[in-house]
Amino acid sequence: MTELPKRLLIIAGSDSSAGAGLQADLKTAQAFGVYAQTVVTAVTVQDTGGVRAVHLIPSEIVRSQIEAALGDIGVDVLKIGMLGSGCIASAVDDALNDIDLPLVLDPVLLSSSGTRLLDDEGVEILKSRLIPRALLVTPNLPEAQALVGILPNSDYSLRNAIKAFTLLGAQNILFKGGHGEGDMVRDTLVSDGQQTIFASPRQQTRHTHGTGCTLATAIACGLALGQSLPDAVAGAHAYVQNAIRTAPGLGSGNGPLNHQI
C-alpha cells in the first residue's frame, strides 16, 4: 500500500505575481513532497514593484475553508501567513480552537514594498491569541519591533526581544536576519532556552520576493516530514538561500525565487 503524503494547511493571502503568499507556499510544499491545502484570506494585486490593491475574503468564508480542509483530507501541520484584519485573525483562531497541531506562524505585517497587510486589531490578536498557539513564530526584524517594540539587531536587544516574546507566550522564535546589516545573514532560532544561529553569506540581489513566506512554509514542511524543529529550520534556511541564488531573474523589481530546487 502506498504511503499517503504528509499534509500541510496554508492560511495566507494570494499574490498575483506568484512570488509570495499562497503561490510561493504551494511551490515550496511541492518541492518538499508535501501535500498542501490552502485557505485564502486575501487577494492581492501585485507585481515585483509592489502591492497595488488588497481585497479581504469574508471571515466566514475563511473559517469555512479551514473546516473543509480539516474535515475531509485532514492536516498534519499548519502554516499561517497574511491574515489582513482582526476579523479574519479572530475567525482563524476560533476555527483552530480545538485543534492541537504544530503551527508555524509568519506574522505578516507589511509587504516588501511597505504596504500594510494587517490592521491594529489583527496585530493584537496575533499577540494575544495566535502567538501563544504557535509552535514557532518567524518574525523578521521590523516585524519583531512592531510586535514587541524592540529591534533585535544586537545581542543586547535580542535578549530583550526574546523576553518580550516569551511574555506573549511564544514557545519558539525564529528571528529572520534578512533585514539586518553586514556580510552575513543570520537567522536565530530560540528554542528550549538555547539560541541556534543559521548563517549564510548575504547575496547581493534584488530577487528576494517571498523569502519570508517560503522560509516559514519550508519549516512547516520539514516538521510535517518528522524533522526536529532545529533540523527543519536548518533545511529551510538552506532551501531559501539556494532559491535566492538560482532565482530566475523575472520582473523589474523585487523578483521571485526559484522554488524548483
Respond yes or no: is residue 226 known to be catalytic. Answer: no
Can you give the pLDDT at residue 44?
A: 97
C-alpha pair distances (Å), 48 with each of 18, 62, 257: 10, 27, 11
pLDDT 10s digits, 127-157: 999 999 999 999 999 999 999 999 999 999 9
The one catalytic residue in 44, 208, 214, 217 is: 208
CA 120 from chain centre, in angstroms, equals: 19
The one catalytic residue in 213, 214, 222, 255 is: 213
Average pLDDT of the residues in 101-113: 92
The one catalytic residue in 28, 176, 188, 214 is: 176
Respond yes or no: is residue 213 known to be catalytic. Answer: yes
Task: Please check the confidence at residue 1 and state whether its pLDDT lies above 80.
Answer: no
The one catalytic residue in 41, 211, 214, 217 is: 211
Q: What is the CATH number of domain 7-245?
A: 3.40.1190.20
The one catalytic residue in 210, 222, 235, 255 is: 210
Helix axes 229-245, 211-224, angle to 10 degrees: 140
Respond yes or no: is residue 188 known to be catalytic. Answer: no
In this structure, the dihedral spanned by the alpha carbons of residues 147, 151, 155 and 158, taken in order and rounded to 10 degrees, is: 0
pLDDT 10s digits, 33-59: 999 999 999 999 999 999 999 999 999
Task: pLDDT band for 195, please (50, 70, 90 cuts).
Answer: very high
The one catalytic residue in 212, 222, 235, 255 is: 212
Respond yes or no: is residue 205 known to be catalytic. Answer: no
Where are the chain's structural domains?
Answer: 7-245
Can you give the pLDDT at residue 112?
A: 74
Name the pTM for this structure.
Answer: 0.97
pLDDT 10s digits, 154-169: 999 999 999 999 999 9
Respond yes or no: is residue 211 known to be catalytic. Answer: yes
H helices present in the chain, as ranges? 21-32, 59-71, 86-95, 120-125, 131-133, 141-148, 155-167, 211-224, 229-245
Can you give the pLDDT at residue 261?
A: 85
Respond yes or no: is residue 50 known to be catalytic. Answer: no
Can you give the pLDDT at residue 182?
A: 83
